[in-house]
């Protein structure tokens, strides 16, 4: 009998069969492919409706003029500016979680950073619209950009409003870049599993990512460098916005505490918004394994900490007003608490200073409905904080002869509600097209845990 020909080692090797996909991929991609429920459609419909209502109101305002916004002497900064500052504040948690916690190697950020980064982008986009809405003649907004023109006229770089333009546009750009860079490997995961039009889209968005060592090395360095750049940026953006106020001489605004106090307030409200969106997301898509009570506990601790910084800010404002012996300053702060806008001040103090104290207790930091309630109240409180600063400041300046009362009109309230609709609409749409939990980062932790027998 003739023996079979000798086989080389290579001949014995055949491509191994493809194993089933990893659990993490299946769990996290499932959010995108989850059946669209009637509840989802109803929510999406409601958000779209509010956006349409806001759009219609804005068109009407363009036609009629800013008068429908209730802007009248002496208050020419109203609900639009309040809402602008509010949304810029909301944008801060995303960059904080992504950049600052990344630099501190806080691995607990991994499951929530993507959603928070997306929220940052959506919040900045929402905020930016209010700058245009506030100026009334939105189509002239480009005047604030330094562009060559026949009159040889340039913008005034000494104006805090000009700084705002640079700060917000830089923040929006960096937030988008940060989000996109983080998404590239996850788009590749989605690409490898998608079919049809999704496959085409994710193939384009993943830029041919294969996870080679060179690609990962560049990627980690890019995230590191962007974190290094974004960390001072996140602290600067709300500082710059606070200088819109602090550089003026309006009683109650001209304070050096404004920058740190605004930044802390922004992080405070940003983290609250993260909770507002992540608690239902976890519940609806069954993500308890990825977004754990540990995440919520840490976020609640941040809220408690920043809540105390904000409280310190309020206290120091009152102390400085008293200590300064400047009468308009003292009057301004007296009127905040006991004047015509007392309601907003007490809502602010209750929601921002008292309510978060429940987070001293661990059971409160890990009970979803308490977290959700506190987060909602904090967001209400933070909107009122900006209301108090802007409205009480402008309506009661130095001369009693020019004092006035401001009340938001239906148009402002519609646009305010529309901003929430716009933000929520983008979030709802994004969970269907973006991996809203950073798949590769979650995987990194999981594989390390497996390698070390769950020692991490």
Residues 220-249 that bind another protein (CB under 8 A): 220-222, 225-226, 229-230, 232-233, 236, 240
| Bridge partners of residue 72, in order along the sequence | 75
List the one residue from 212, 325, 369, 453 that touches another protein (CB under 8 A).
212
Do residues 447 and 59 touch, judged by C-beta distance below 8 A? no
Candidate segments 43-51, 79-87, 130-138, 213-221, binder of another protein by CB under 8 A: 213-221
Q: How far is the CB of 411 from another protein (least distance, A)?
A: 32
Nearest distance in Å: CB 211, another protein: 5
Asked if residue 150 binds another protein (CB under 8 A), the reply is no
Contacting another protein (CB under 8 A), which of 170, 311, 350, 366?
170
Determine contact, residues 143/123, Cβ cutoff 8 Å.
no
Instruction: List the one residue out of 279, 275, 262, 263 whose CA is nearest residue 301.
Output: 275
Residue 5 or 19 with smaller CB distance to another protein: 19
HEC profile for 382-406?
HHHHHHHHHHHHHHCCCCHHHCCCC
Residue from 45, 60, 137, 218 binding another protein (CB under 8 A): 218
Task: Tell me: does residue 297 bind another protein (CB under 8 A).
Answer: no
Answer yes or no whether residue 122 interacts with another protein by CB under 8 A. no
* Pairwise CA distance, residues 84 & 164, whole Å: 11
Residue from the set 28, 123, 167, 348 that interacts with another protein by CB under 8 A: 167
Please give the C-alpha separations between residue 383 and each of 79, 160, 179, 311, 433, in angstroms, as whole numbers.
Answer: 10, 22, 26, 15, 30
Does the protein bind another protein through residue 203 (CB under 8 A)? yes
Stretch 3-22 residues interacting with another protein (CB under 8 A): 8-10, 13-16, 18-19, 21-22
Tally Cβ neighbours within 10 Å of residue 399.
9
Q: Most distant CA pair in the chain: distance in Å? A: 118
Q: Look at residues 148, 144, 136 and name the one whose alpha carbon lies nearest to residue 161.
A: 144
450 binds another protein (CB under 8 A): yes
Q: Which stretch binds another protein (CB under 8 A): 129-137, 154-162, 290-298, 308-316?
A: 154-162
Phi and psi, residue 206, nearest 5°: -80, -10
| Residue 187 or 423 having the CB closest to another protein | 187
Of the listed pieces 35-43, 89-97, 146-154, 355-363, which binds another protein according to CB under 8 A? 146-154
Q: Is 207 in the site for another protein (CB under 8 A)?
A: yes
Smallest distance, another protein to C-beta of residue 126, A: 21
For residues 443 and 24, the answer to whether their CB atoms sit within 8 Å is yes
**Measured from the CB atom, is 149 or 325 closer to another protein?**
149
CB-wise, 231 or 345, nearer to another protein? 231
Binding status of residue 180 toward another protein by CB under 8 A? yes
What distance lies between CA 186 and its chain's CA centroid? Answer: 21
What's CA 454's distance to the chain center, in Å?
Answer: 33
Cβ closest to another protein, residue 180 vs residue 308 = 180
Instruction: Please select the residue that binds another protein; options are 25, 113, 379, 392, rule is CB under 8 A.
Output: 25
Can residue 283 be called a binding residue for another protein (CB under 8 A)?
no
Q: Minimal distance in Å, beta carbon 235 to another protein? A: 11
Q: Does 260 bind another protein (CB under 8 A)?
A: no
What count of other Cβ atoms lies within 10 Å of the Cβ of residue 74? 14
- For another protein, which stretch binds (CB under 8 A), given 113-121, 129-137, 163-171, 330-338? 163-171
Cα 122–Cα 123–Cα 126 angle in degrees, nearest 5:
85
Query: What 3-state DSSP class applies to 75?
Result: strand
**Alpha-carbon span 240 to 166, nearest angstrom:** 10
In the complex with another protein, the residue whose CB is nearer, 220 or 248, is 220
**Among residues 123, 133, 174, 434, the one that binds another protein under rule CB under 8 A:** 174
Q: How many CB atoms lie within 10 A of CB 382?
A: 25
The verdict on whether omega for the bond into residue 62 sits within 30 degrees of 0, i.e. cis, is: no
Interface stretch with another protein, choices 115-123, 208-216, 283-291, 321-329 (CB under 8 A): 208-216
Left (φ > 0), alpha (ψ -120 to 50) or beta: where does 159 sit? beta
Q: Does 456 bind another protein (CB under 8 A)?
A: no
Q: At 320, list the tokens.
A: 């400085």
Q: Among residue numbers 374 through 433, which ones bind another protein (CB under 8 A)?
A: none
């Amino acid at each position: 009998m003739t023996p079979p020909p000798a086989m080389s080692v290579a001949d014995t090797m055949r491509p191994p069969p493809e194993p089933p996909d990893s659990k993490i991929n299946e769990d996290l991609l499932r959010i995108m492919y989850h059946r669209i429920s009637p509840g989802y459609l109803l929510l999406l419909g409601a958000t779209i409706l509010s956006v349409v209502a806001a759009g219609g109101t804005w068109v009407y305002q363009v036609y009629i003029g800013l008068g429908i916004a209730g802007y009248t002497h002496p208050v020419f900064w109203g609900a639009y500016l309040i809402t602008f500052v509010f949304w810029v504040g909301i944008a801060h948690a995303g960059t904080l979680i992504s950049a600052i916690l990344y630099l501190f190697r806080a691995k607990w950020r991994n499951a929530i950073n993507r959603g928070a980064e997306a929220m940052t982008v959506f919040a900045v986009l929402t905020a930016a619209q209010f700058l245009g809405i506030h100026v009334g003649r939105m189509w002239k907004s480009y005047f604030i950009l330094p562009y060559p023109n026949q009159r040889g006229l340039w913008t005034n770089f000494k104006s805090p409003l000009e700084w705002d333009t640079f700060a917000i546009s830089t923040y929006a750009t960096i937030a988008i870049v940060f989000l996109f860079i983080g998404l590239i490997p996850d788009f590749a995961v989605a690409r490898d599993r998608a079919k049809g039009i999704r496959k085409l889209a994710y193939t384009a968005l993943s830029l041919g990512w294969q996870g080679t060592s060179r690609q990962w090395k560049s990627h980690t360095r890019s995230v590191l460098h962007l974190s290094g750049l974004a960390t001072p940026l996140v602290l600067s953006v709300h500082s710059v916005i606070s200088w819109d106020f602090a550089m003026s001489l309006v009683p109650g605004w001209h304070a050096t505490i404004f920058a740190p106090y605004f930044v802390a307030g922004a992080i405070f409200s940003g983290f609250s918004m993260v909770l507002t969106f992540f608690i239902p997301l976890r519940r609806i898509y069954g993500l308890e394994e990825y977004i754990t009570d540990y995440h919520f506990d840490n976020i609640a601790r941040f809220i408690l900490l920043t809540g105390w910084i904000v409280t310190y800010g309020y206290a120091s404002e009152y102390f400085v007003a008293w200590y300064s012996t400047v009468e308009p300053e003292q009057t301004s702060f007296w009127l905040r608490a006991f004047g015509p806008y007392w309601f907003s001040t007490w809502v602010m103090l209750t929601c921002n200073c008292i309510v978060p104290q429940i987070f001293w207790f661990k059971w409160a930091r890990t009970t979803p409905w308490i977290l959700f309630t506190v987060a909602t109240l904090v967001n209400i409180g933070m909107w009122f904080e900006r209301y108090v600063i802007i409205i009480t400041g402008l309506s009661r300046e130095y001369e009693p002869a020019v004092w006035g009362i401001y009340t938001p009109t239906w148009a402002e309230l519609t646009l305010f509600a529309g901003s929430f609709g716009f933000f929520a609409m983008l979030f709802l749409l994004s969970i269907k097209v973006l991996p809203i939990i950073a798949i590769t980062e979650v995987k990194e932790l999981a594989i390390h845990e497996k390698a070390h027998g769950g020692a991490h």
